[in-house]
Structure 1
Amino acid sequence: MPAPHDVIVIGGSYAGMAAALQLLRARRSVRVIDAGERRNRFASHSHGFLGQDGVPPGQIAAQARAQLQAYPTLSWQDGRVEAVSGQLDDFIVRTADGAVHRARRLLLAMGVSDQLPAVPGLAERWGRAIFHCPYCHGYELDRGRIGIIGAGPLSSHQAELLTDWGDVTLLPNGVTELDPALRETLQGRGVQIEETPIRQIEGHADVCLADGRLLHFAGLFTATRTAPAGTLAQSLGCALEETPMGLQIRTDAEARTSVRGVFACGDVARVPHSVSLAVGSGAMAGAQVHRSLLWPQTLWA
């Protein structure tokens, strides 16, 4: 059995790398295991991240990884984690290639998966013409027409919020319920409401309705439901919690999960979601993991 790392970080996207950086700068041995499935891999450009506004997401990730690899205590593995087990100071991580690694701490940063509304043509345009975050993608629509595809209660919030970015039409699509008070609030904000169900999405961001009408939009938004990518957290026994956006790993202010020695950060452990917030979450989690290595008695009494 190989000698243990101080920390194994599962997930090498923005949160995982931000956490790893703090630990590497504390001269701790860190193994990052990354399956290469960044959540924003479908987007051509990333926005709203200070210093990297408008840069392709892959370029941001590649630059960050190159900076991490300058630290001699980093081990980076491209691959997928198949199983995790163990306990505080003695975790075992098995990867798809059959390798086995040990660590004193685990940091879960594998992100979330998006459950998209079942609208024909939506998945093919996800991240390119259909988005979930107005702060990330609203400005580029140049105050054009914006459509909100109903996906649940958050869709009405999206519609009201996005009026600062353009002329908004909410398409409840039989999913988002609007009581009279909410309808009045939305209309007071200038939101148009189109009740006809959606048949499919066409062209760039054109919505074909069930009655044959075609509505043209500069871009579309929808509120996806998210869940942790994979089942590693559940297999470890980490408690999950429900949020308005979906399931996430329950953590405390120190990024600790319900399992001693296991931490979590980024989209898998907090809402709302963005690159900036993931990086901040990762940086804080990395520092807390380091503290747990120095003073375990103060964090797990």
Structure 2
Amino acid sequence: MHDVIVIGGGYAGMAAALQLLRARRRVLIMDAGLRRNRFSRASHGLLGQDGVDPAEIARTARRQLEAYPTLEWIDGEALGAAGGKDDFTVTTASGTSHRGRRLLFALGVSDELPAIEGLAERWGRSVFHCPYCDGYELARGRIGVIATGPMAVHQARMANEWGTVTLLTNGAFTPDEATRAELAAHAIALEETPLARLEGPLEGPAQVVLADGRRLDFAGLFTAPRNRPATPVAEGLGCALAETPFGTQIGTDETKETSVPSAFACGDAARAPHSLTLAIADGAWAGMQLHRSLVF
């Protein structure tokens, strides 16, 4: 019987586990090995790790956790969870079952990208979602924002801090007159012709080919994919989901506890907006709250 089973060994899950291990609690981490930022070559905006390969950040974190004797780590996918307070059972894809007094879902999210030829290959390389993470490297060049809905206007306004912006509506919405005036007031260009595909190198400048054959060159592109938890294991336990402007996430209270008592959730799957820094902070808070639930 473990004190806590953490499903997901990404940054949030490891940050939570660290707090628990330092309290000498027995922690099991199950990790499928699919970090959301696995496509990126460098992580930006994380204090002390700015510009470091995110895979190296994850490897270093795991090595540090493994120095604690009360950690068990399983490389494998969790398929299902059952039970309740003080007696949860998690089943893995390999058919093994593990028991824990508490559960923490640190599942990460899947990104539903716009269906544009050439975009998926460039995700995390020349197409991004967070200007705080990747805007600086675009050196105040031309930035394209590919709309996935009306919230793209907000994304374009934000990206305007990092370069000269063109909002590519791509049929996701039709700007009204007030929106057009707002964009013009902030010198944001508007392009309403649908996108045919993306061309150019996978990393570095990106070229947008429009449906009418025109080509637009950008230092980089931003878009806001719809998100949902990377696996349905929390939903299968009965955890309530919540809708946000970014998609679907696991609902939690201020202590990161879900609608299922003694099952907690943290990281991108349980908060918005998303960044590496925020995921780590959310995980650390969840770990402390999990510990408190075991004490009190």
Q: Which TM-score applies when normalising by structure 1?
A: 0.96
CA deviation vs aligned residue, 1:272-295 (integer Å, no higher than 9, x gap): 000000000000000000000011
Does residue 62 of the first structure (1) align with residue 63 of the second (2)? no
1:176 to partner: Cα distance: 2.7
Q: Which residue number corresponds to residue 242 of structure 1?
A: 243
| Secondary structure, aligned partner of 1:143 | coil
- Supply the AA of the counterpart residue of 2:226: R
Aligned to 1:167: 164
Answer whether contact 1:130 1:219 (CA < 8 A) is retained: yes
CA distance in 2, matches of 1:146, 1:11: 34
2:19 aligned partner: 22
Say whether residues 1:255 and 2:256 are aligned partners. Answer: yes
Shift of 1:83: 1.2
- Which among 3, 6, 28 is matched to residue 3 of structure 2? 6
Alpha carbons 1:200, 1:208 under 8 Å: kept: yes
Superposition deviation, residue 118 in structure 1: 0.6
Counterpart of 2:61, as a letter, is A
| 2-structure distance, mates of 1:11, 1:208 | 38
Q: Letter of the 1:243 partner, please give it.
A: T
Shift of 1:96: 1.0
Q: Secondary structure at the match of 1:39?
A: coil
Provide, for residues 198-217 of structure 1, a one-character-per-residue CA deviation record: whole Å limited to 9, x for no partner: 11101131000111111110
Residue aligning to 1:298: none
Q: Which runs of 4+ in 1 moved over 6 A?
A: none
Q: Please, what is the CA RMSD of the aligned residues? A: 0.7
Contact 2:80 2:237 (8 Å CA) reproduced: no
Mapping 1:1-301, distance limit 5 Å: 4-204=1-201, 205-295=206-296
Q: Output the CA distance in 1 between the equivalents of 2:177 and 2:48.
A: 44
Q: Tell me how far apart the structure 2 counterparts of residues 202 and 278 of structure 1 sit (CA, whole Å).
A: 32
Cα distance in 2 for partners of 1:56, 1:100 equals 34
How many residues align structurally?
292
Q: Give the Cα separation in 2 of the matches to 1:97 and 1:228.
A: 21
**TM-score (normalizing by structure 2):** 0.98
Q: Counterpart of 1:68 in structure 2: which amino acid?
A: L
* Cα distance in 1, alignment partners of residues 225 and 183 from structure 2: 20
Higher mean Cα deviation, 220-229 or 151-160?
151-160
Q: Deviations over 1:129-154 (max 9, x none)?
A: 00000000000000110001111122
Q: Secondary structure at the match of 2:38?
A: helix
Report the Cα offset of residue 263 of structure 1: 0.2
Q: Which runs of 5+ in 2 are unaligned?
A: none
1:177 deviates by: 2.6
Unaligned ranges ≥5, structure 1: 296-301
1:22 Cα deviation from its structure 2 partner: 0.1
Letter of the aligned partner of 1:194 in structure 2? E
Percent of paired sites with the same residue: 62
CA contact (8 A) 1:155 1:176 kept: no
**How far apart, CA to CA, are the structure 2 residues paired with 1:210 and 1:219?**
20
C-alpha displacement of 1:116: 0.3
d(CA) in 1 for partners of 2:28, 2:127: 35
Partner of 1:299: none
Asked if structure 2 preserves the Cα contact closer than 8 Å seen for 1:152 and 1:177, the reply is no
Q: Deviations over 1:64-87 (max 9, x none)?
A: 000000000000110001111111
Query: Hey, what's the Cα distance between the residues in 2 that align with 1:183 and 1:55?
Result: 39
